[in-house]
Amino acid sequence: MTDTTQLARNWLAHELWGRAASPASAVLPVAKAVMAVAQGKGRLSSAEHDYLLGGFALRGASVESIDALRSAKGHDDPAALLAGTPANPRMIVYFAIQIRAADGALDDAELATLVEGGARIGVDERAVRELVALHREEQALRKRRIDAVLGHDG
């Protein structure tokens, strides 16, 4: 019988990152690390938290993992959470950027939180800023794609 969850996880990982998905056992620690990097000492907005939950549900997180993530405080040490997982720190930062931008804004305070969070897992400020710029480019391209495919006038 086909494991459709794993099939979907592998398709998405290949589409986004050009590689197979991490083991299912890594999903919750990676999700908690992403939350810690995105949130820092503050809190995520409702839209940002929903994006985090939805993103990891899409990545095949179990119901139990989503429930654990829903109640997580986000103040764990992301480096400790990532130890023993195959997660790439830049991927963690990139998803944290997506989360922080999910409510439509990425302000200076959020950028500072991302820089601090990136440093906690070995990603320097220059790399975080490059990833933020890439995210902004991808959002502009996404808007162009949606407008072109759906026939919007802008």
- Cα–Cα distance for residue pair 69/85, rounded to 1 Å: 17
**Residue 80 half-sphere exposure toward CB, CA atoms < 13 A:** 5
Domains and CATH numbers, the chain: 4-150 (1.10.3680.10)
pLDDT 10s digits, 111-152: 999 999 999 999 999 999 999 999 999 999 999 999 999 987
DSSP 3-state of 20 = coil
- Cα–Cα distance for residue pair 131/112, rounded to 1 Å: 13
pTM of the model: 0.91
